[in-house]
Amino acid sequence: MSKPKPNKPVPGVYYRDDGRPRWEVKIRWVSKGQKDWLPTKVFPVDLKAAKGEAGHPERARKDAVAYATNEWQSLETFGRPSALRSDAWTFRALLERYLEDLDEGLIPHKSIKTARAGVRMMLGKGKGHNEAGFPGIVDKWVKELRYENFVGEDENSLQMNLKDRDGNRAGDSALKRLLTVLSGVFKRAHKTWKIQLNNPLEKITGLSANDARERTIDRDEWQKIAKELEKHAQGTQDVIFFARYTAARRSEIIKLDWGDINFKKKTAKLRDTKSKADKNVDRIIPVPAAAWSIILRRAQPANASKEVSVEELAGMRLGGPIFTNNKGQRLRPDTITQAWSRSCARAGVVGARVHDLRHTRITELGRFLTAAEAARVSGHTNLATFFRYFNPDPEETGRKIDAKENGQKNEAGIEDVARALAALNESEFMPAITMAIEIRTSNAAGR
């Protein structure tokens, strides 16, 4: 005999027992001739739960009935279910639902990591100087939120309380990036979830767009930091040194596998790199000598009796991650950041970040490569963005200009002499060369 199902207490409430016992609520209605519905609401049943506990069959039934009753009453009173009215949602609830959609892969987003980190930070699920979150904002009802809660001089605004990695007040660019994520939450709530609300971040104004970070690491600072890095594991050191000489991002380096290295061409393929134009972009970079030596050292077999040559390495089928910890596991981004921060603190270098190594190397590359060549290495498709990273010393630039102009003058003079010699016939050419040598010898003797 089959187990009888509980009676349906109110319209839209159903009991399911197909291996996952649960109460489900399905709210459907017709508005202006159009059928509409809410996503199915599930109230799981735990047959082992004690009476009164969440999941107990009777508790789950009551919760389902209460939810359905509230939605039907809202439909009757306001013409919309409570779940689609802004006065039924706190900003925290919107953020949590958005985070669920992100985690379930329902939101195609080229900067999904940035979006997830921003939402988690707002909810107090992040780390660092913003780990407490912003309850004064996220616990407000959505209908109460105003632009001034996010941008403005009010002491409780997000702008006044958002901190950067150093614990200082975050710059306008960082705030704008976060507000763009939060605006996306409101847009999804309105367009996809069909919640009737206004987006307080529809237009983001009053923020400067030009507070980009331009910090570079000078030679003295790098030597001090490098010395302190010796106290950390070799793999961690290698990632930071590789970043220093390739301009690659920390996240790009730790994803490198041996299959990404071309030993014949001395190149590395960086996978799924950041790009404004595409979701996932691979780029191949040259690996300069200082970084190449790291690759060759790490490629050496642990049990080799002698050093394996580049040619031999090229023929070997190396696999797995390149940069690992002492247990052979791929290094984590936080491990790199912590080692860098602690090394800087011991070295007395203030305000330096791992990403500043990228600024430093791009500035160096810009001294002897064209902007287009350097941008290809750094992965910048927008030269305006690239020039934010290129921060040459004006004094050094002046010296290069003088040297270049002097060299051009000398080259012009040599060219004139060469043209004059070329105009001579064969009987005149050799006597002219002999005369030039005699004059040069005489001048040298006179000095």
- Between helices 112-122 and 91-103, what is the axis angle to 10°? 150
62 inside domain: yes
Could you give the number of structural domains in the chain?
A: 4
> Among residues 84, 109, 135, which one ends one of the domains?
84
> Among residues 45, 61, 84, which one ends one of the domains?
84
Neighbour tally for 169: CB within 10 Å:
12
- Tell whether 225 and 352 lie within a shared domain: yes
Average pLDDT of the chain, as a whole number: 83
Q: Predicted confidence band at 444 (pLDDT cuts at 50, 70, 90)? A: low
177 inside domain: yes
- Tell whether 229 and 371 lie within a shared domain: yes
202 inside domain: no
331 inside domain: yes
> Given this model, what pLDDT does residue 284 score?
85
- Tell whether 101 and 62 lie within a shared domain: no
Range of the domain at 34: 13-84
Residues 338-353: tens digit of each pLDDT: 999 999 999 999 889 8
Q: Which two tokens stand for residue 312?
A: 């031999």
213 inside domain: no
239 inside domain: yes
pTM > 0.85: yes or no = no
- Tell whether 27 and 146 lie within a shared domain: no
> Given this model, what pLDDT does residue 2 score?
43
Distance CA 191, CA 173 (A): 27
Residues 54-86: tens digit of each pLDDT: 889 999 999 999 989 988 988 888 888 888 888
**Cβ atoms of 336 and 236 closer than 8 Å:** yes
Indicate if the pLDDT at residue 278 is higher than 50.
no
- Tell whether 224 and 370 lie within a shared domain: yes
Residues 35-57: tens digit of each pLDDT: 888 888 899 999 888 988 888 99
> Given this model, what pLDDT does residue 205 score?
84
How far is CA 19 from its chain centroid? 42
207 inside domain: no
- Tell whether 306 and 399 lie within a shared domain: no
- Tell whether 109 and 56 lie within a shared domain: no
**Mean pLDDT of the region 366-371:** 67
Q: Which CATH number belongs to the domain containing residue 345 in this structure?
A: 1.10.443.10
Residues 8-17: tens digit of each pLDDT: 568 899 999 8
**Cβ atoms of 240 and 340 closer than 8 Å:** yes
> Given this model, what pLDDT does residue 440 score?
64
196 inside domain: no
- Tell whether 170 and 266 lie within a shared domain: no
- Tell whether 296 and 307 lie within a shared domain: yes
How many angstroms separate the Cα of 261 from the Cα of each of 290, 321, 374? 15, 11, 20
- Tell whether 426 and 306 lie within a shared domain: no
- Tell whether 127 and 245 lie within a shared domain: no
- Tell whether 335 and 420 lie within a shared domain: no
State the SS3 of the chain.
Answer: CCCCCCCCCCCCEEEECCCCCEEEECCEEEECCEEEECCCEEEECCCCCCCCCCCCHHHHHHHHHHHHHHHHHHHHHHCCCHHHEHHHCEHHHHHHHHHHHHHCCCCCCCCHHHHHHHHHHHCCCCCHHHCCCCHHHHCCEHHHCCHHHCCCCCCCCHHHHCECCCCCECCHHHHHHHHHHHHHHHHHHHHCCCCECCCCCCCCCCCCCCCCCCCCCCHHHHHHHHHHHCCCCHHHHHHHHHHHHHCCCHHHHHCCEHHHEECCCCEEEEEEECCCCCCCEEEEEECCHHHHHHHHHHHCCCCCCCCCCHHHHHHCCCCCECCECCCCCECCHHHHHHHHHHHHHHHCCCCCCCCHHHHHHHHHHHHHCCHHHHHHHHCCCCHHHHHHHCCCCHHHHHHHHHHHHHHHHHHHHHHHHHHHHHCCCHHHHHHHHHHHHHHHHHHHHHC
Distance CA 368, CA 375 (A): 13
Neighbour tally for 179: CB within 10 Å:
22
> Among residues 42, 65, 84, which one ends one of the domains?
84
Indicate if the pLDDT at residue 401 is higher than 60.
no
Q: Predicted confidence band at 4 (pLDDT cuts at 50, 70, 90)? A: very low
